[in-house]
A = this chain, B = another copy of it.
Amino acid sequence: MTDLSVSLGKLQLAFPTLMASGCYGSGEEYASFIDLSQVGGIVLKSVTRWPRLGNATPRLVPTPSGMLNAIGLQNPGIDWYLEHEVRKFADRPCAIIGSVAGFSVDDYGYITERLARRKEIAAIEVNISCPNVASEGETFACDPQLTKKVVELTRSVTDKPLIVKLSPNVTDIAAIAVQAQDAGADALAVINTVRAMSIDVDAWRPRLGNIAGGLSGAAIRPIALLAVYEVARAVRIPIVGQGGIETPNDALEFFLAGATAISIGTANFTDPRAPLRIVEGVRDYLQQRNLKSLKEITGKANVGFSNAHQYEGDEG
């Protein structure tokens, strides 16, 4: 049997497929379409310290091969969440990974500590690629120092696996990745959405209520893939690749670039069976090549700059 199980630190996953935060509710929304025991895990919608209404509408805009979203972390806040929501996750047939978002370094520690204590939660994803009101609209993941502080603090409050989710909206994602690793992250989620916008030319107004939003879907796949490739060359901890993964071929690109697992977000919106088709296709690929496990391909396209002409290479 081809082995598709992977581990992210101490977190064992039967399949290398996570359902991306904010795209899968708590899994209940998709339970009538696919057998949730066939996915590796579900990353819950990010939760904050206080209840949040989320952003003004519209919150979604379709774009070429992708979509913009600006949900604004609509969620009930950690108190209600712990009291009413978390217990519902107990009987999910796959790993449940909490996602925490904060507006100060302190928020992350506080929420992580409370959430990680619950047995229903197998691991915590630290979403530092959301806005940081304290530092004037920048996200934590855009600042190596803030990244370090958040990860150190969350590390100090739990032994459960910590996945730190990075932003692509930076000059050097590998440098941020190294900070997160050195501060104690068990794994890295690469990447969150790419900042973008759309304008209604009849109304002379941004289409999103929030003006700017995050681009996801196939359009960003090549961007996400390079981010994974570069981060993989810089760190030793596992990477959860994400950004526009829709097919087995897409998933394989991310494994070859250096991802240990992948997350599937927007592709579920097109077809809820996407995670099953991806796992099936990846299994076929390994079997056809007599490969026993994903380890045999992880990072294998991660070649050095061996090309003789690389020294003069660029994207001009």
Which residues of A pack against B, CB within 8 Å?
22, 46, 52-56, 63-66, 68-73, 101, 127, 130-131, 133, 142, 169-172, 192-201, 204-206, 209-215, 218-223, 225-226, 229, 244, 249, 252-253, 256-257, 285, 297, 300-301, 303, 305, 307-316
Contact = CB atoms under 8 A, between A and B. Distances in A.
B225 A196 contact: yes
22 contacts: A46-B316, A53-B309, A56-B307, A63-B222, A65-B66, A65-B219, A69-B315, A72-B312, A72-B314, A73-B316, A101-B316, A170-B171, A200-B301, A201-B252, A201-B256, A201-B285, A204-B256, A205-B303, A210-B313, A210-B315, A211-B310, A213-B315
Contacts of A297: 204
Contact of A316 (B65, B130, B307): B130
Contact of A218 (B65, B72, B127, B172): B65
Contacts of A66: 64-65, 219, 222
Nearest to A133: B311
A172 B170 CA distance: 8
A205 B196 CA distance: 30
Contacts of A194: 223
Given A310-B210, A316-B71, A197 B127 contact: no
B197 A222 contact: yes
Given A101-B316, A133-B311, A214-B316, 11 more contacts: A53-B309, A56-B307, A70-B314, A131-B315, A197-B225, A197-B257, A199-B257, A200-B301, A204-B297, A206-B301, A212-B226
A57 to B, nearest CB: 10
Contact of A307 (B22, B54, B211, B221): B211
A264 to B, nearest CB: 16
